[in-house]
């Protein structure tokens, strides 16, 4: 049945929120649109009123995830005089490692996105650009921004992949990468 325009917009946001969380947790091929819609309190048919296809849906879900990631970084700016340091500490924490559904879309989905031509790859690239720009602003050094982001993403992926089978190695990776990034500054 029809719903109000405000409710329709809320439903759209719920679909994006659920997709952004479930795709980061399970990968683009690890969860179906029916399950995501169910998580958002809707049925799968309603998806195609809001999005053209699963790929377009996934791409918008990535935009949503990137927005939240950049907002988090900006929120540190207001409170903290070393916003990037706090961001890194949170990024390379066990909590963030163990909750990919609410974490970085790059670490969770960039490897997947590299194999998907079309809207997902384009969105992922824009997200990477945004993070490099955000880091560059805060480090005043684009090269340093790129190497910092690379190490954070790589370290988190290694820590996630080894968490189940070798917990101490996983923790060691988080701590070591965090330590290496903290050295140059204060």
Partner DNA sequence: TGTACATCAGTGAACGCGCGTTCACTGATGTAC
Nearest-angstrom CA–CA distance, 62 and 43: 21
Stretch in the footprint of DNA (CB under 7 A) among 29-37, 119-127, 144-152, 170-178: 29-37
Q: Does 26 bind DNA (CB under 7 A)?
A: no
Burial of 123 (0-12, 13-18, 19+ CB in 10 A): buried
Of 18-47, binders to a copy of itself (CB under 8 A) are 25-27, 29-30
Contact 31, 100 (CB under 8 A): no
Work out what residue 13 binds among DNA, a copy of itself, none; the CB cut-off runs from 5 to 8 Å by kind: none
Q: Does 25 bind DNA (CB under 7 A)?
A: no
Q: Could you give the string, one character per residue 53-82, with x where binding to DNA holds by CB under 7 A and - elsewhere?
A: xxx-x-------------------------
Nearest approach, Cβ of 127 to a copy of itself (angstroms)? 9
Binding site for a copy of itself (CB under 8 A): 25-27, 29-30, 100, 106-115, 117, 121-122, 124-126, 128-129, 132, 143, 146-147, 149-155, 157-158, 160-166, 169, 172-173, 176-177, 179-180
């Amino acid at each position: 049945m029809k719903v109000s325009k405000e409710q329709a917009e809320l439903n759209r946001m719920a679909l994006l929120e659920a997709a952004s969380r479930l795709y980061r947790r399970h990968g683009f091929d690890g969860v179906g649109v029916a399950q995501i819609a169910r998580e958002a309190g809707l049925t799968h048919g309603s998806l195609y009123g809001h999005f053209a296809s699963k790929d377009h849906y996934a791409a918008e879900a990535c935009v949503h995830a990137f927005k939240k990631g950049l907002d988090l970084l900006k929120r540190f700016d207001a409170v903290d005089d070393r916003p990037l340091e706090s961001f890194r500490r949170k990024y390379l924490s066990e909590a963030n490692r163990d909750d990919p559904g609410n974490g970085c879309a790059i670490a969770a989905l960039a490897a997947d996105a590299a194999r998907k031509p079309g809207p997902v790859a384009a969105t992922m690239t824009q997200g990477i650009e945004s993070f490099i720009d955000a880091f560059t602003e805060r480090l005043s050094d684009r090269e340093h921004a790129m190497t910092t982001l690379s190490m954070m993403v790589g370290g988190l992926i290694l820590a996630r992949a080894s968490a189940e089978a070798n917990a101490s190695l996983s923790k060691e990776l988080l701590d070591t990468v965090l330590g290496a990034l903290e050295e140059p500054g204060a």
